[in-house]
Each structure stands twice: as C-alpha cells, then as structure tokens.
Amino acid sequence: MLFESGLSRAALMLQLLDVLSQSNTRKTLSSPSFNIVETSVEANKINRVFDYIFNNFKEDISLQDVASIIPMSTAAFCRFFKLKTNRTLVEFIKEIRVSHAAKLLMEGNYNVTETCYKSGYNNISNFNKHFKEVKGLSPRDFIKQYKITA
C-alpha cells in the first residue's frame, strides 16, 4: 500500500480490511481502562488539545501552552488529560513523535539523524531512548525489521 496511489491504494486497503475482518485472532489496541470522553464539552476540550499537539509536535510544546488552550491551570489540565487518555502529556507527545518518526523511517527518505530532527527531537540520544521505549527497538533495528517484513 505504501507504494501505490489512487484507486489501487484504496483497493489494497479494502483487501486489508477484508483479511482483518475474517481473522480469528485479534489484539485490543486500547487499554481496558481507556476512558471514553463522556460529554461534548469534554470532547471539544480534548479535541482542541489533540489538534494543537498534532499541529505542533515538531516544536517545543510546554505544559502551560497546552493547558491555556482549554483554559485550565496546569495541575487541573494534567489531571484532566491523564483521566481522558490514561497517559501524561509528555508520554502522549513522545508517542506522537515516535509514531511520526517510524512513518518517516518506513518511507525511507531520511536517515535516523534526519528523522530525529524532523520528528521534534533536539538530540539523537534522547530520540533513540524514546524510540526504544515506545517501539521496543532502536531506530536502526526498526528499519532492519521493517525491511525484512516488507
């Protein structure tokens, strides 16, 4: 699917969904304690936060900046965000950045160092540490594994 476009890509996506729907094995992606947003007011708040993070994850994001979007105090925001996502803001941003980095690495247009900086990290050692925490592999091992399975 990565190398197709247009209708061919859509057809492959439908084939994938068909295979998944017929599978007898499944894996739950969200934790059992995942807390669904109960009200439209809460949904609006968390969606504004998500939009801000997704649009700015390549930049430095401060807790104060994100809390001011809703607006809430930083302490109240931390409780609200943890309650709604079951993770801290720092953990969430880390997952977003690492997921973006994994996508860039799979596309093969950038090396690990370039990917590091294009994913919002300022140094390679911090990037490698976070990537391994989230993906269970170093970025280089991730690329090797992807090339084997692709």
Q: Does the pLDDT of residue 33 top 50, yes or no?
A: no
The token duo for 51 is 């939009």
Instruction: Convert the pLDDT of each residue in 57-112 to its tens digit.
Output: 999 999 999 999 999 999 999 999 999 999 999 999 999 999 999 999 999 999 99
The predicted model gives 119-145 an average pLDDT of 95
The Cα 72–Cα 66 span in angstroms is 9
Reported confidence tier of residue 150, pLDDT bands at 50, 70, 90: low
The token duo for 25 is 């094995």
Q: Does the pLDDT of residue 34 top 60, yes or no?
A: no
